[in-house]
Amino acid sequence: MNSQDNFCIEVSLDDCIPKTDKGGEVRVGISPLKNKAKSMIMGTVEIKPGDKFEKHIHDKSDEAIYVIDGKGILFIQNCSYKLVKNHMYFVNKGKEHSIINDGNTTLKIVFASAPLDNICSEIQWKYPPTPAEGMTLLQNRAPEVYEEFRKLTQILNENSPIDRKTKELILLGIFTAIGGKRGIKTHTQIASEYGATEEEIIAAILYALPISGITTITEALENVKLAIEKEQ
């Protein structure tokens, strides 16, 4: 049941439709679009074991997180923090962050973001575009660049003496080094299709350790785990 007057806004999460497109189940209860809350957004996120809430940024808003139940890992920029039940966490505006549930039960958190722009979307978060979305954007906005890129990729593939499995393992190492999480998932799946074992995939990622550091490597391994589990 929801109610609103000049003094109070009451919202039932049962009436909030969950959003699942960026990982987890996000329910926004308080927001400018839902109930004219002008200064903040508040809601809940539930993340199942092994799942991830995608990397995003609040350009104008700080965010507070409270863990109701479960455990996980909060990644902020290149740092990681263990999420523990009954603990609170603060993320400064402009800091890219994501969450992984590395436990055995559903991770349940409450979040609140403030302040907001005068004109605010339902969830004032920016997500990096998926590879498909990014390529479509490139094709539409810069078709000449897109076509030359496509030709370059085709030439590299046709003239490479490296077999496809090895190529995918090399790309895995590159995406690990630059922190390209979607690239890690994509090339893990392709490498598997071309016969790479889980041990070979992990070895390719570990080669980036001296360059990228342990936090980047552990996050890459989490993405590999999710990609492999998705195939099974």
Q: Are residues 97 and 179 in the same domain?
A: no
Q: Are residues 22 and 98 in the same domain?
A: yes
- Higher local confidence (pLDDT), 158 or 1: 158
Decide if pLDDT at 147 tops 80. yes
- Higher local confidence (pLDDT), 125 or 158: 158
Q: Are residues 30 and 101 in the same domain?
A: yes
Q: Are residues 19 and 81 in the same domain?
A: yes
The percentage of residues in the chain with a pLDDT greater than 90, rounded to a whole number, is 31
Q: What is the mean pLDDT of the chain?
A: 83
Decide if pLDDT at 43 tops 80. yes
User: Do the domain assignments include residue 7?
Assistant: yes
Mean pLDDT on 21-35: 81
Residue pair 113/60 in contact (Cβ under 8 Å)? The answer is no
Decide if pLDDT at 4 tops 60. no
- The region of weakest confidence among 74-88, 165-179, 210-224 is 210-224
The helix/strand/coil state of 196 is coil
User: Do the domain assignments include residue 148?
Assistant: no
Give the global pTM. Answer: 0.54
User: Do the domain assignments include residue 151?
Assistant: no
Q: Are residues 40 and 109 in the same domain?
A: yes
Q: Are residues 20 and 82 in the same domain?
A: yes
Q: Are residues 91 and 174 in the same domain?
A: no
Burial 77-106 (b: 16+ CB within 10 A, else e): eeebeebeeeeebebeeeebbbbbbbbeeb
Token pair for 58: 């609040």
C-alpha pair distances (Å), 171 with each of 147, 167, 184: 22, 6, 8
- Say which CATH number the domain at 10 has: 2.60.120.10
Q: Sign (positive/negative) of CA torsion 99, 130, 56, 125?
A: negative
Q: Report d(CA 53, CA 128) in Å as an integer.
A: 13
- Say which CATH number the domain at 200 has: 1.20.1290.10
Q: Report d(CA 232, CA 227) in Å as an integer.
A: 9
Domain total of the chain: 2
Residue pair 85/67 in contact (Cβ under 8 Å)? The answer is yes
pLDDT tens-digit series, residues 173-212: 999 998 887 788 888 888 888 889 999 999 999 998 888 8
pLDDT tens-digit series, residues 54-75: 888 888 889 999 999 999 999 9
Decide if pLDDT at 152 tops 70. yes
Q: Are residues 110 and 167 in the same domain?
A: no
User: Do the domain assignments include residue 141?
Assistant: no
Q: Are residues 109 and 164 in the same domain?
A: no
User: Do the domain assignments include residue 119?
Assistant: no
User: Do the domain assignments include residue 65?
Assistant: yes
How many residues are recorded in the chain?
A: 232
User: Do the domain assignments include residue 222?
Assistant: yes
Q: Are residues 8 and 105 in the same domain?
A: yes
Q: What is the pLDDT confidence band of residue 122, given thresholds at 50, 70 and 90?
A: very low
Tell me which residue range forms the domain holding 207: 160-231
Decide if pLDDT at 168 tops 80. yes
Q: Are residues 101 and 28 in the same domain?
A: yes
pLDDT tens-digit series, residues 13-27: 888 888 887 778 998
User: Do the domain assignments include residue 139?
Assistant: no
- Higher local confidence (pLDDT), 106 or 28: 106
